[in-house]
């Protein structure tokens, strides 16, 4: 028992020392960031308003290293996020906002089922918007080395949005990764795609009007085709060369005509598409699940699937979104 207590004390001592060093380094980072932000055109007024309140958040680093996309197998991930309870909440959300959602659907040519699916998976229809201080989250991830350049850019954009009074500083609470609102927009997504749909001179992505219109606008600009396909589950012949299988979302490779892949798909049928349609094949468990089967589960993916990947670079996220979207089609 004494040995266990001693080890526990050592662990927490080291953990606290790491936090001390991190905080010391973070304070130095803040000084350097202040100079950099001014050089990028962020106003001194905004910077001096926020800089003292920026905190290093150890939990953010913990969440970054342990995302569901990094450890859950595909079936578990999808089933958790597309269950009947989520479908029922989505139906109620649509009933309460049917006029607005239908209007947005028509204006941007993006189906309501997809909008509801994204909102459901991102925030459970606005129930879980996140409580993290977004600026401190972005600052922590900027200070961290894993994706420093990306999060530094996002932090600069967020500060400029505050400068321009596009978003309110006091409302910037959201996900550990710095995403905000009903559809979890990053600052760069807000800058490029968010809309003040209700014309109140403020982009409020926690409001129904601005958030649904902004999400539809984003999808439309990325090239979503409401008549297009997303994915189909397939059974692969193990004779398929492994190089044709995508198991990373970083870049989808080996896009070829369906005619090329026919011979490797055991359950091939004409419903998979025309011979000339360009597709790729993913086997998403390969990099996640230890000792997983390289060939199963497997999916043939189409252009719309890659549009969802632009929204969130996760193979499982895109599969879940399209699965939930299809479930809504039978209910709405």
Query: Do 42 and 149 have their domain in common?
Result: yes
In a domain, 56, yes or no: yes
In a domain, 319, yes or no: no
Query: Do 145 and 259 have their domain in common?
Result: no
The mean pLDDT of 239-248, rounded to a whole number, is 94
Q: What is the pLDDT of residues 117-141, one digit of tens each?
A: 999 999 999 999 999 999 999 999 9
Rounded-to-integer distance, Cα 6 and Cα 17, Å: 16
Confidence of residue 14 (pLDDT cuts 50, 70, 90): very low
Secondary structure (3-state) at 280: strand
Q: What is the pLDDT of residues 34-52, one digit of tens each?
A: 999 999 999 999 999 999 9
In a domain, 186, yes or no: no
In a domain, 194, yes or no: no
Query: Do 168 and 58 have their domain in common?
Result: yes
Q: What is the pLDDT of residues 65-108, one digit of tens each?
A: 887 666 788 999 999 999 999 999 999 999 999 999 999 999 99
What is the model's pLDDT at position 332? 85
Do 48 and 169 meet the contact criterion of CB atoms below 8 Å apart? Answer: no
CA distances from 58 to 53, 66, 142, 243, 258 (A): 15, 13, 13, 38, 47
Secondary structure (3-state) at 4: helix
For tokens 């699937």, what's the residue? Answer: 305
Secondary structure (3-state) at 151: helix
In a domain, 274, yes or no: yes
Query: Do 57 and 151 have their domain in common?
Result: yes
Domain end, chosen from 180, 205, 239, is at 180
In a domain, 139, yes or no: yes
Query: Do 165 and 264 have their domain in common?
Result: no
Q: What is the pLDDT of residues 139-172, one digit of tens each?
A: 999 999 899 999 999 999 999 999 999 999 999 9
Rounded-to-integer distance, Cα 15 and Cα 9, Å: 10
Query: Do 20 and 163 have their domain in common?
Result: yes
The mean pLDDT of 209-217, rounded to a whole number, is 98
For tokens 């550990």, what's the residue? Answer: 176
In a domain, 291, yes or no: yes
Comparing CA positions, the residue from 170, 332, 316, 330 lying closest to residue 231 is 316
Structural domain count of the chain: 2
Do 120 and 86 meet the contact criterion of CB atoms below 8 Å apart? Answer: yes
Domain of 252, in residue numbers: 231-301
CATH of the domain at 163: 1.10.8.350
Query: Do 140 and 40 have their domain in common?
Result: yes
Query: Do 138 and 31 have their domain in common?
Result: yes
* Pairing verdict, β 298-301 and 278-282: antiparallel
What is the model's pLDDT at position 288? 76
Secondary structure (3-state) at 245: strand
Percent of the chain, pLDDT > 90?
82
In a domain, 187, yes or no: no
């Amino acid at each position: 028992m004494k040995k266990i207590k001693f080890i526990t004390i050592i662990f927490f001592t080291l953990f606290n020392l790491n936090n001390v060093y991190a905080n010391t380094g973070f304070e130095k980072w803040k000084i350097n960031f202040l100079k950099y932000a001014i050089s990028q055109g962020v106003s001194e007024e905004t910077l001096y308003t926020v800089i003292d309140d920026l905190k290093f958040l150890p939990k953010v680093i913990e969440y970054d290293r342990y995302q569901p996309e990094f450890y859950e197998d595909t079936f578990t991930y999808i089933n958790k996020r597309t269950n009947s309870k989520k479908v029922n909440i989505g139906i109620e959300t649509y009933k309460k906002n049917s006029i607005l959602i239908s209007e947005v659907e028509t204006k941007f040519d993006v189906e309501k089922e997809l909008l509801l699916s994204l909102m459901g998976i991102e925030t459970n229809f606005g129930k879980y918007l996140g409580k993290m201080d977004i600026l401190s989250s972005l600052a922590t991830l900027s200070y961290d080395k894993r994706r420093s350049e990306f999060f530094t850019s996002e932090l600069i954009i967020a500060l400029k949005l505050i400068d321009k009074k596009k978003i309110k500083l006091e409302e910037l609470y959201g996900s550990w990764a710095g995403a905000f609102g009903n559809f979890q927009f990053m600052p760069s997504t807000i800058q490029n795609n968010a809309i003040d749909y209700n014309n109140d001179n403020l982009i409020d992505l926690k409001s129904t009007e601005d958030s649904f219109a902004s999400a539809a606008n984003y999808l439309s600009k990325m090239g979503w085709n409401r008549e297009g396909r997303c994915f189909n589950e397939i059974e692969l012949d193990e004779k398929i060369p492994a190089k044709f299988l995508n198991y990373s979302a970083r870049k989808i490779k080996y896009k070829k005509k369906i005619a090329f892949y026919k011979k490797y798909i055991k359950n091939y049928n004409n419903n998979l598409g025309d011979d000339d349609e360009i597709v790729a094949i993913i086997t998403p468990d390969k990099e996640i699940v230890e000792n997983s089967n390289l060939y199963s589960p497997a999916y043939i993916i189409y252009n719309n699937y890659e549009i969802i990947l632009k929204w969130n670079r996760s193979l499982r996220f895109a599969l879940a979104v399209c699965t939930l979207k299809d479930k809504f089609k039978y209910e709405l």
